[in-house]
Structure 1
Amino acid sequence: MSTLVLSKSGLTKKHVIAATTIGTALEFYDFTIYSFFAIQIGQLFFPGASPVNQFLLSIGVFGVGFVVRPLGGIVIGAYADRAGRKKAMVLTIMLMALSCAMIACAPTYAVAGLAAPFIVLTARLIQGFAAGGEFGPGTTLLIEYASNHTRAFFASWNFAATAAGLALGAAVATLVNVLLPKQAVLEWGWRIPFLLGIVAAPAGMLIRKRLDETLVVHSTDAVRPQGALKAALSTHVKLTILGTFAELGGSVSVYIVAFFLPSHAVRALHLSPTTAVTSGIVSSLALFVAAPLAGILADRFSRKRVLVASRVAMLLLVYPAFALLGAHPSVMSLCVVSGILAVLVAGQIVPVLVMIPELFPKHVRATGIALTYVVSASFFGGFSPFIASWLVAQTGNPLAPAWYVAAACLVSLVPVIWLKDRTGEALA
């Protein structure tokens, strides 16, 4: 039985996609602007530390958001399977708005003492919890809104939204740094991007309230909403494990291409920070364009074909791409390599993003996505830049991260063998 629900509220497909994905875009927008202003935040909220420790403490506060992401995914995913996708998505965007507001309006250490970094830390915990819970209900609602032959295309926009958030965050942060004097950025300019995030959240919340609920509960349903987490870890534990490792290749690839590669170009290849920012925007735009195209292909040619083809291509091309960049370090080669690899990342993530939830029953679907995508992205993906940097430091080989990506793609091809492809079939 399909859970497709036609919109009674009069929202068009574009409105449904925009309302659903705005939270994901806001999550990665916040992620990007914090990383851009980590130095200023460190100076203002940890003034007693050395410059190096200021930065490390600021990044440490940033990192706690990743620690609670899996918890948010599980808790809010289970809530979405119990109370409905719509309620969960309204909750997450409210929490994101609260997080942006807390950071934008936080008093500095000079004003509030130890309370200042505590406020920022609390905001990052809230943001990480909400971000972890955003992706499962959002992807689930998109899939359930779509027809049997457009599910991958609809789901692809939730991944495209991550790229849009990254590109927008980088663009806003760059404008603030270019248009304002350095001292003004330190004193108040860094708050502007967070204030813009506050504005976006209420608009998204209002649109989301108009969405139709796609979770329809029947008395004959075998799996009750209250047992979503238990069912995912018992009845569907095999699917949960296979799905997590099937996501591994895409999670590692996207964090290496979008986050590690620009900084690697500065540290190891001695390119300018401006070049790194430019390549980051290029890769984000490539992801944004390639994601819906990957969705169209996955709907037409099947999830597995697009997934396997993209993953094998990444496995074969990532080393030559890094080698080319090492031999000819320039803004052009960095942007070309980033763009090509980003397209292959989209081809990996989008098919499996829709393939896994299609295999979960409706009352386990949001929780299932949280336990596969969010956990994979938080642990395998989130630690990838650190592991890649460690490999370079230990081996002295700037091409070592390419072998790491290739190994992740190879490992994550194996579980795909046991996953059923339900392209074009009705949802359970």
Structure 2
Amino acid sequence: MVGNWFELFDFVVYGYFAAQIGQAMFPAADPLTSILASFATYGVGFIMRPVGAVVLGSYGDRRGRKAALVLTMVLMAAATGCTGLIPSYATIGLGAPVLLVVCRLVQGFATGGEWGGATTFLVEYAPAHRRGFFGSLQQLSTSLAIVSAIATALLLNSVLTPEDLGAWGWRLPFLFGFLVAPVGFWLRAHVAETPAYAAKADEAPAAPFREAVTRHRKVVLQVFGVTVIWTVGSYIFTTFVATFAVQTLKIPAPVVLTGTLLGTLVNICTIPLVGWLSDRLGRWPFLVASALGSLLFAVPLFALLSAAPTVWSVMALTASAGILTGLYSGAAPTYLCELLPTRVRYTAMSIGFNGAVMVFGGFGPFIATLLVRETGLNIAPGFYVMAGALISLFALATVPRHPRLSDEASA
């Protein structure tokens, strides 16, 4: 969990400083154009997530979950530290955005192997009657990483002037993330391999990717579809809203970050509770409830924020989103693991999950910003969330209601 917190903090903190990074690396006369360029670079990191899923997932299924997770830690630390040290556009010109893109690509590659590995690791360690709760801990650490990123942004926005924040303050979270990396590395290097993998290490497939996309391609596609609203809701309601409310609706940054922090705290409280309940009531009903809620409430929440841009509307949106995404985050990690066998679980789940994150989540803030600019409607991001909900509801109609973690799971 500590390792997952570190990696996700480093990856998501970019979104909370998108405006400052855009000014430093992509100067433009129109602030919205600068933000679009920054969010596009944010999305570039997601292009490499499926690549990382294939390479690191296959490595994790062949050599062990522990070895893959140690490698993701090293890659993320290097890319994060370099991000904080890149000179601005004013200093080195086009070299600045080029180096930033390279760092985001490496971060995306590492993250592509992180989510599936951390989730697989926790679920394979869990007692059979507590898999839902153990799996939810992965998403709990992810939400704690988001809280850390928001708190960092709130602190820096409160103690630094806008000029200092744009000049050098945005670099501090990346340098901090680099400095704490050795803690996560030490923990992962000294933990034992999962019992489920260790018992079948001699049966590891020679080509996990090929097996995943041939024998289990239907399940990989189902994982992709189930993940869509999860990733859309997470990135639209957190990363996008934080910048949108400040830059477009002109709500003070500390107010927005405070509201976003509240929503994430609600999410943190929801996740383990749902994970615990899913061991008793099943996981599928929580996923359906979350997708339906997103379909029904996305546009009204954005309409409320647009009509009354205050701290209360920010809190209403983020708290509601915290519950909706919490329903998914508490049940989905274990549910997706249970769809797949041990021998290709890391690879197949990573491909399906990260494919959806790349297509629908990573570029979600960019698409939402573009929708607002082209339509002139502040509720336009809500339509994107609705589309994601419909895709996932269709996928949820095709999957087993009560899968079980076993080697007999198949497409």
When normalised by structure 1's length, the TM-score is: 0.84
Q: CA separation in 1, counterparts of 2:45 and 2:191? A: 28
Which range moves more in the overlay, 89-98 or 378-387?
378-387
1:197-208 correspondence runs (5 A)? 197-208=177-188
Task: Tell me, yes or no, if the aligned pair for 2:49 and 2:112 is still in contact at 8 Å.
Answer: yes
Q: CA separation in 2, counterparts of 1:115 and 1:393? A: 28
CA 107–75 in structure 1, closer or farther in 2 if over 3 Å, else same: same
Q: CA separation in 2, counterparts of 1:80 and 1:424? A: 22
Which range moves more in the overlay, 98-107 or 151-160?
98-107
Q: Does 1:65 align with 2:80?
A: no
Secondary structure of the corresponding residue to residue 207 of structure 2:
helix
Q: CA separation in 2, counterparts of 1:45 and 1:324? A: 33
1:51-130 correspondence runs (5 A)? 58-107=38-87, 117-130=97-110
Task: Tell me, yes or no, if the aligned pair for 2:236 and 2:365 is still in contact at 8 Å.
Answer: yes
Quote the residue 1:335 is aligned against. 315
Deviation at residue 144 of structure 1 after TM alignment:
0.2
Secondary structure of the corresponding residue to residue 317 of structure 2:
helix
1:171-320 correspondence runs (5 A)? 171-214=151-194, 215-216=197-198, 218=200, 221=203, 224-266=204-246, 269-320=249-300
Name structure 2 gaps, 5 residues minimum. none
Letter in structure 2 aligned against 1:68: M
Task: Tell me, yes or no, if the aligned pair for 1:302 and 1:423 is still in contact at 8 Å.
Answer: no
Q: Does 1:369 align with 2:349?
A: yes
- In the TM superposition, what whole-angstrom CA distance separates every residue of 1:95-147 from its partner, at most 9, and x where no partner exists? 11111222233455676676555443332221111111111111000010101
Letter in structure 2 aligned against 1:347: L
CA 220–340 in structure 1, closer or farther in 2 if over 3 Å, else same: same
Q: CA separation in 1, counterparts of 2:377 and 2:39? A: 26
Q: CA separation in 2, counterparts of 1:403 and 1:54? A: 24
Decide which structure has the larger Cα Rg and report it. Answer: 1
CA 325–153 in structure 1, closer or farther in 2 if over 3 Å, else same: same
Q: CA separation in 1, counterparts of 2:34 and 2:381? A: 28
Of 141, 159, 164 in structure 1, the residue corresponding to residue 144 of structure 2 is 164
Task: Tell me, yes or no, if the aligned pair for 2:133 and 2:279 is still in contact at 8 Å.
Answer: yes
Q: Does 1:144 align with 2:118?
A: no
Deviation at residue 170 of structure 1 after TM alignment:
2.1
Task: Tell me, yes or no, if the aligned pair for 2:278 and 2:331 is still in contact at 8 Å.
Answer: yes
- In the TM superposition, what whole-angstrom CA distance separates every residue of 1:40-93 from its partner, at most 9, and x where no partner exists? 54555567x767576655544443212211111221111101110000000001
Q: CA separation in 1, counterparts of 2:405 and 2:117? A: 21
Deviation at residue 401 of structure 1 after TM alignment:
3.0
Q: Does 1:135 align with 2:115?
A: yes
CA 167–360 in structure 1, closer or farther in 2 if over 3 Å, else same: same
Quote the residue 1:7 is aligned against. none
Of 381, 393, 398 in structure 2, the residue corresponding to residue 413 of structure 1 is 393
Quote the residue 2:360 is aligned against. 380
Same amino acid, percent of matched pairs: 37
CA 385–189 in structure 1, closer or farther in 2 if over 3 Å, else same: closer
Q: CA separation in 1, counterparts of 2:113 and 2:323? A: 26
Q: Does 1:24 align with 2:4?
A: yes
Of 339, 354, 357 in structure 1, the residue corresponding to residue 337 of structure 2 is 357
Q: CA separation in 1, counterparts of 2:202 and 2:71? A: 29
- In the TM superposition, what whole-angstrom CA distance separates every residue of 1:277-299 from its partner, at most 9, and x where no partner exists? 22222222222221111211211
CA 114–304 in structure 1, closer or farther in 2 if over 3 Å, else same: closer
Q: CA separation in 2, counterparts of 1:261 and 1:351? A: 25
- In the TM superposition, what whole-angstrom CA distance separates every residue of 1:223-251 from its partner, at most 9, and x where no partner exists? x4222111111101111111211111222
Task: Tell me, yes or no, if the aligned pair for 2:36 and 2:369 is still in contact at 8 Å.
Answer: no
Deviation at residue 268 of structure 1 after TM alignment:
5.4
- In the TM superposition, what whole-angstrom CA distance separates every residue of 1:382-422 from its partner, at most 9, and x where no partner exists? 23333334444444443333333233223311222332244
Task: Tell me, yes or no, if the aligned pair for 2:11 and 2:107 is still in contact at 8 Å.
Answer: no
Which range moves more in the overlay, 77-86 or 156-165?
156-165
Q: CA separation in 2, counterparts of 1:312 and 1:34? A: 30
Deviation at residue 152 of structure 1 after TM alignment:
1.6
Q: CA separation in 1, counterparts of 2:118 and 2:201? A: 25
CA 407–184 in structure 1, closer or farther in 2 if over 3 Å, else same: closer
Letter in structure 2 aligned against 1:216: A
Task: Tell me, yes or no, if the aligned pair for 1:81 and 1:364 is still in contact at 8 Å.
Answer: yes
Q: CA separation in 2, counterparts of 1:424 and 1:235? A: 18
CA 107–295 in structure 1, closer or farther in 2 if over 3 Å, else same: same
Task: Tell me, yes or no, if the aligned pair for 1:247 and 1:349 is still in contact at 8 Å.
Answer: no
When normalised by structure 2's length, the TM-score is: 0.88
Secondary structure of the corresponding residue to residue 198 of structure 2:
coil
Letter in structure 2 aligned against 1:416: L
